[in-house]
Structure 1
Amino acid sequence: MENILVVLVIIGSIIYKMYTGYKEEMEKAAKRKQQQRPPVPTPTQQHPRPQVQQSRPQVVPPRPITPPAQVSVPPAPKRAPTVVSYEGEIPSEVKRVQRQKSDRALKNVTVLEEKKETEKKPFEFDLRQAVIQSAILERPYK
């Protein structure tokens, strides 16, 4: 009981110190604001507004709308295709790389088919094993 009383007194004193520090800061801020406030200027003379002559606006007759002149743009010349086919002899290295790419593509297709087959297998569920594992997981800790 004595420990709780000591702790409460310490916490209370800390809160009181914080509150007094806050009050002091607020007083300092109020003094600063009073010193920084400029004196309010008193209106001694109002500026007269300039007289604006009101006149009727001039009516301008509307201009007739003329369609813009059509400019004929010549069609762009057709470009030659940028793809150039190679008609020479293809090196053996290039042929080998092309064969490897096609072989990899075929392997990927067969792997995807195997994955689909494995996904179709029914799921096996053992109720006895599930009950045992559930009991193990729900054991009370010591």
Structure 2
Amino acid sequence: MFSTQTRQKSGLRRKAAAVAGATALLLGGGLAAATTASAGPNCAAGYHCVFYNGLGEPGGHAFYNSDPDFTDNYFDGMSININDNTWAASNSSTGGYESHYYYDVNYGGGLVFCVNPGSAVNAGQLSHDGVKGNHVGQRDEASSLLMRPSTNISCF
């Protein structure tokens, strides 16, 4: 038989082990929840990427910060201006920021589309009416990018 003293020690050890286990779970869960890195396809961590032809196709460009004016930006390795030529986008935000694309420079003209962290939108998902700059379609329309903290706007 166990003595009362032995049972008390055993009970204290179990309680200590339970508290230690619960603490480890809470700390581990907290660390996992604190990480907001989300990788979108074909876009390096921390960047918001646009593509001329489609995800992973030649002609991409990565933005690290918001850009109020695409007229001075070109797709990598191409002489094609990004303004009103975006066919796809990917969001690899490490800070939980949504990518919000606007029809006009300086975030004007209304929202064209937005992409959630860790997500992407490809050419076939964006509406296209065939006329650039008329603010009706989504493909070939973006002129600026604003990175915003999580919103209630429905994004890709």
TM-score (ref. length: structure 1): 0.28
Bigger helix share: 1
Greater relative CO (CA pairs within 8 A, separation 6+): 2
Relative to total residues, which structure has the larger strand share, 1 or 2?
A: 2
**Larger Rg computed on CA atoms:** 1
